[in-house]
Amino acid sequence: MKGTRLYSIFKEKCPVCQEGEVFEGRTYNLRKLGKMHTNCPHCGHKYEIENGFFYGAMYVSYGITVAASVATFVLSYWLFPDQSSWFHIGMIVAVIFILAPVTFRISRMVWMNFFSHYDPEKAKKHE
């Protein structure tokens, strides 16, 4: 799968070389949740192309959150059809809260991959 945007997104690797790490810590390490390297440690690609670049990732995050909310509602309603509406709303809120760190990272990775593409030459740079 290396060389695809999905590889970069789900492995959280640089969209250009797909070797360097984008984030400094693990997903659920809340102290380092938003900490990103400024440049790729492998190829030197600058992640934030311009100031405010990641504001666009909020739209991606919104889409992911809506999809997760709809899926949670459908699943909870299918599994527990006799529960009140508040139960289903509570399930949606819980899932959104639990997936917030994942949504944050995935949305940034998707946004970066919109504007950068894989370059096999940069992947070989430090080999």
Q: Which pLDDT tens digit goes with each residue over 110-123? A: 999 999 988 888 77
The answer to whether 111 touches 41, Cβ cutoff 8 Å, is: no
The answer to whether 88 touches 76, Cβ cutoff 8 Å, is: yes
pTM of the model as a whole: 0.86
DSSP string, 25-38: S-TT-GGGTT-B-S
Domain span at 87: 5-124
- Tell me how many domains the chain contains: 1
Summarize pLDDT for 17-60 with one digit per residue, the tens: 999 999 998 888 888 888 999 999 988 899 999 999 999 999 99
